[in-house]
């Protein structure tokens, strides 16, 4: 991984990005009909500043993996560590961006973005970070607007600003572009790459879109149907910003489709 | 044709006047101001004068109130019971005539359809309320005729509208004191009830342990009408005032608690996840996530509680509290002073509807972030 980072001359990541290590992770859900296994012996290492995408059939347990990495739920078996320390509870250094923007409708865009700083009690000292984050996503003119007045893309940008204001060392992206129209989606993929390259955080993305995974990530991890196991990993050894017509990426896409049993549609 | 005439009755269109199609104000105004100075001002005057179309519907208002004035002044009162003549009939009739003249002036003012500023706003307002002014004038005229003038509706149970003036003048002090005491008692109980109801509702929505103990109590005791507790409350509490505050608080608190609880219970769980990953404490999750998210429901509870509190207030004042508008009504009944009762009822209506309107405007301010809320 270190090789990859050097070759692509990413910005220095020490201090702004976390090393995430997932070891022998298995997880079960309690259901009325008994325990349901969703994760099966997952091992995954994310180097500081690395962008990893997780692909898999829907309902396989990828999102559960993200919740465990965020510390929102404890894992049944196995360990997750952040820079060597076990992940036991949520922390502002690991921020999740969900498929729905989940902006608080009673707060203006600005107050939504300020949420993390307010919760941590540092809004007074660090208020300038709010405006900086709004500017990063191009919403500086919409600060006083309420969420219901925003378009889907703008709302998701606001959610991104709300995440970035915390200077996360790991950004967890749970299908963040899944509900956007396809044009907005392409636009925001480029914006995500730019934000990641500029800020240097580690990123863990769940998506259903193979092209999106290949456009954004340095490594694509393929999961089996539930209970999710890692079945393959693909390195996307291409420089940024990437091009959708890139032959190497097209070949990888074919390979991944084959791997997921969808090769016949090529 | 029927569409046309109903629109005219609503005051939206001048009766039978569609001869000149004038451009809409939004388009016309800039055209006027864009002209060069001297011809521009001349054009502006010409334009606004050309826009003048007398507000004919206003004449219905003038006629209704003229009729009211003439009925009050011109037809002698029918002697009934103790009094030969109802008091304040002259003043009532004169007042109707003065208002009739005012409607005439406003009909002219409302003719300037494109006037702006306060002048224009008053005109537009008059066009909007004119149908109501007509209706009220006719209603008062019929009321005056059926009571004072013909005696079809007999005293003491019925009294003419003019006689209400007498009550408001002669019994002003007692009514004002009653109204003040009612509002004071009501607000005391409602504020206690709202605060405690919100706290209880949020607590049972938040904590499983509190829910286990409090929820069954709410389910068991909640449906009991607070008025049923009235006799016991008067016995247990040191004063009838304290007992009434308790019962009003109970009436307000129950719906507030239930709705706050359901509001907190139905908060999108993802909001908590978002706040937790950003380092939110439990305090933050309750006061900055759960309660703001539940506020729309809390307000529904407040409206229900407010309505229930009016009932308890009036019953409590009728049964035990020695002041307030409820007491005034029973006092008036005791003396067979039915006119006083009407006067008291009108004051009560005005106070209660004002309080509800006040709550609506508070709601609109607090929930400005919601789209499409009902306007009162």
Chain B nearest-CA distance from A88, in A, is 12
pLDDT tens track for A76-101 = 988 899 998 899 899 999 999 998 99
H or E segment to which residue B82 belongs:
none
Q: What is the share, in percent, of chain B residues with pLDDT greater than 90?
A: 61
Task: Estimate to the nearest angstrom the gap between the alpha carbon of B200 and the chain centroid.
Answer: 30
**Same-domain check for residues A138 and A9:** no
Phi-psi region of A89 (alpha: psi -120 to 50; beta: other; left: phi over 0): beta
Does A13 share its domain with A127?
no
Q: Is residue A9 over pLDDT 60? A: no
Instruction: Between B268 and B1, name the one with better pLDDT.
Output: B268
Q: Do B279 and A92 touch (CB under 8 A)?
A: yes
A221 lies within 8 A of chain B by CB = no
Instruction: Read off the CATH number of the domain in which A237 is found.
Output: 3.40.50.300
- Domain-wise residue ranges, chain B: 48-160, 172-366
Indicate whether A222 pLDDT > 60: yes
Of A128, A149, A167, which closes a domain? A167
Reported confidence tier of residue B15, pLDDT bands at 50, 70, 90: very low
Question: Are B271 and A72 within 8 A, CB to CB?
Answer: no
Residue A187 belongs to a domain: yes
Phi and psi torsions of A164, nearest 5°? -70, -25
d(CA B365, CA B291): 16
Provide the token pair at A80.
Answer: 């997750």
Query: Of B279, B289, B295, which has the smallest distance from its Cβ to A120's Cβ?
Result: B279
Residues A35 and A55 in one domain: yes
Give the relative orientation of helices B325-334 and B291-319 as an angle to the nearest 10 degrees: 20
pLDDT of residue B50: 60
CA B320-B321-B327 angle, to 5 degrees, is 95
Q: Are residues A197 and A83 in the same domain?
A: yes
Q: What superfamily in CATH does domain B172-366 come from?
A: MetI-like (1.10.3720.10)
pLDDT at A5 over 60: no
Distance from CA of A155 to the nearest CA of B (A): 15
H helices, E strands: number in chain B: 16, 0
Range of the domain at A53: 2-93+169-265
String of b and e for B159-171 (b: at least 16 CB within 10 Å)?
bbbbbbbbbeeeb
In which band, very low, low, confident or very high, does the pLDDT at B48 lie, cut at 50, 70 and 90? Answer: low
Model confidence at A189, pLDDT cuts 50, 70, 90, reads very high
Same domain, A62 and A123: no
pLDDT score of B187 more than 70 = yes
A69 and A114 assigned to the same domain = no
pLDDT (tens digit per residue) in B243-286: 999 999 999 999 999 999 999 999 999 999 999 999 899 999 99
Name the pLDDT band for A15 (thresholds 50, 70, 90). Answer: low
Integer CA distances (angstroms), B364 to A144, B357, B360, B376, in order: 18, 10, 6, 10
Same domain, A146 and A201: no
CA distance B299 to chain A (A): 14
* DSSP per-residue letters across A36-77: EEEEEEEEEEE-TT-EEEEE--TTSSHHHHHHHHHTSS--SE
pLDDT of res. A47? 93
Chain B contact probe: residue of A73, A94, A95, A106 with most B CBs at under 10 A = A106
pLDDT at position B58 is: 94
CB contact under 8 A, A106 and B293: yes
Residue A146 has its nearest CB partner, among B284, B289, B369, at: B369
Asked if residue A192 is part of any domain, the answer here is yes
Residue A63 lies inside a defined structural domain of this protein: yes
Considering the domain architecture, whether residues A194 and A179 belong to the same structural domain is answered as yes
Which among A167, A185, A218 is the end of a domain?
A: A167
**Contact partners, residue B232, CB within 8 Å, separation at least 6:** none
State yes or no: pLDDT of A59 exceeds 60.
Answer: yes
CA–CA dist B23, B227 (Å, integer): 61
Rounded percentage of chain B residues whose pLDDT exceeds 70 = 84
Per-residue confidence (pLDDT) for residue B13, from 0 to 100? 39
Examine residue A98 and state whether it is found in any structural domain, yes or no.
no
Confidence of residue B1 (pLDDT cuts 50, 70, 90): very low
> What tokens were used for A251?
């070949």
Q: Which residue has the higher pLDDT, B83 or B75?
A: B75
Whether residue B295 lies within 8 A of chain A, CB to CB, comes out as: yes
Task: Say if A85 falls within a structural domain.
Answer: yes
Measured between CB atoms, does B274 come within 8 Å of chain A?
Answer: yes
Average pLDDT, chain B: 85
Residues A71 and A184 in one domain: yes
Residue at a domain's end among A167, A193, A208: A167
Tell me if B143 sits within 8 A of B162, measured CB to CB: no
Same domain membership, residue A127 and residue A208:
no
Summarize pLDDT for B291-318 with one digit per residue, the tens.
999 999 999 999 999 999 999 999 999 9
In a domain, A99, yes or no: no
**Beta carbons of A119 and B278 less than 8 Å apart:** yes
How would residue B82 be classed by pLDDT, with cut points 50, 70 and 90? low
First CA to last CA across chain B, in angstroms?
A: 33
Q: Residue B216 above 50 pLDDT?
A: yes
Same domain for A147 and A27: no
In a domain, A151, yes or no: yes
- The domain tally of chain A equals 2
Is a pLDDT exceeding 90 seen at residue B14? no
Binary contact (B279, A105; C-beta < 8 A): no
Beta-carbon separation of A92 and B270 below 8 A: no
A246 and A174 housed in the same domain: yes
- pLDDT above 90: percentage of residues in chain A: 42
């Amino acid at each position: 991984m270190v090789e990859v980072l050097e070759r692509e001359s990413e910005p220095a990541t020490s201090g702004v990005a976390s090393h995430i290590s997932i070891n022998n992770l298995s997880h079960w859900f309690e259901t009325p009909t008994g325990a349901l296994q969703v994760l099966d012996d997952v091992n995954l290492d994310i180097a500081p500043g690395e962008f990893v995408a997780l692909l898999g059939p829907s309902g396989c347990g990828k999102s559960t993996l993200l919740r465990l990495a965020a510390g929102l739920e404890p894992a049944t078996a196995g360990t997750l560590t952040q820079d060597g320390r076990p992940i036991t509870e949520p922390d502002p250094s690991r921020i999740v961006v969900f498929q729905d923007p989940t902006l608080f409708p009673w707060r203006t865009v600005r107050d939504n973005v300020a949420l993390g700083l307010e919760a941590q009690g540092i809004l007074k000292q660090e208020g300038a970070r709010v405006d900086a984050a709004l500017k990063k996503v191009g919403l500086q003119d919409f600060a006083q607007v309420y969420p219901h007045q925003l378009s889907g893309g703008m709302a998701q940008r606001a959610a991104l600003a709300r995440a970035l204001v915390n200077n996360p060392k790991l950004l967890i992206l749970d299908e963040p572009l899944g509900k956007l129209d396809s044009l907005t989606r392409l636009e925001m993929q480029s914006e995500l790459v730019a934000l990641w390259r500029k800020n240097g955080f580690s990123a863990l993305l769940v998506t259903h879109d193979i092209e999106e995974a290949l456009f954004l990530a340095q490594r694509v991890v393929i999961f089996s149907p539930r209970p999710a196991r890692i079945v393959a990993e693909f390195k996307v050894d291409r420089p940024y910003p990437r091009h959708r017509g890139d032959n190497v990426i097209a070949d990888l896409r074919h390979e991944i489709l084959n791997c997921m049993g969808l090769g016949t549609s090529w | 044709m029927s569409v046309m005439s109903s629109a005219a009755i609503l005051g939206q269109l001048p009766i039978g006047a569609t001869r000149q199609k004038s451009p809409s104000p939004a388009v016309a105004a800039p055209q006027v101001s864009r002209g060069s100075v001297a011809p521009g001002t001349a054009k502006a005057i010409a334009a606004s004068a050309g826009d003048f179309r007398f507000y004919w519907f206003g004449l219905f208002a003038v006629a209704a109130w003229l009729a009211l004035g003439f009925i009050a002044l011109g037809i002698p009162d029918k002697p009934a019971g103790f009094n030969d003549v109802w008091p304040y009939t002259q003043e009532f009739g004169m007042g109707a005539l003065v208002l009739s003249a005012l409607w005439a002036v406003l009909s002219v003012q409302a003719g300037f359809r494109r006037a702006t500023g306060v002048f224009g706003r008053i005109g537009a307002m008059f066009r909007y309320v004119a149908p109501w002014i007509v209706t009220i004038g006719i209603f008062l005229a019929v009321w005056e005729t059926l009571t004072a003038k013909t005696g079809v509706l007999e005293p003491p149970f019925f009294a003419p509208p003019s006689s209400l003036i007498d009550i408001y003048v002669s019994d002003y002090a007692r009514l004002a004191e009653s109204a003040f005491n009612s509002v004071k008692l009501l607000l005391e109980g409602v504020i206690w009830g709202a605060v405690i109801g919100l706290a209880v509702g949020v607590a049972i929505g938040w904590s499983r342990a509190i829910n286990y103990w409090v929820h069954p109590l709410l389910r068991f005791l909640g449906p009991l009408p607070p008025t049923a507790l009235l006799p016991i409350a008067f016995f247990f509490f040191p004063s009838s005032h304290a007992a009434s505050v308790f019962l009003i608080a109970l009436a307000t608190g129950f719906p507030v608690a239930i709705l706050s609880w359901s509001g907190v219970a139905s908060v999108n769980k993802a909001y908590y996840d978002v706040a937790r990953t950003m380092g939110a404490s439990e305090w933050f999750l309750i006061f900055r996530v759960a309660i703001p998210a539940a506020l729309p429901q809390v307000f529904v509870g407040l409206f229900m509680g407010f309505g229930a509190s009016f009932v308890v207030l009036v019953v409590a004042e009728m049964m035990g509290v020695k002041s307030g508008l409820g007491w005034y009504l029973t006092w008036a009944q005791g003396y067979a002073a039915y006119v006083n009762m009407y006067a008291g009822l009108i004051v009560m209506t005005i106070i209660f509807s004002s309080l509800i309107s006040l709550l609506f405007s508070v709601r609109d301010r607090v929930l400005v972030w919601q789209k499409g809320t009902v306007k009162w």
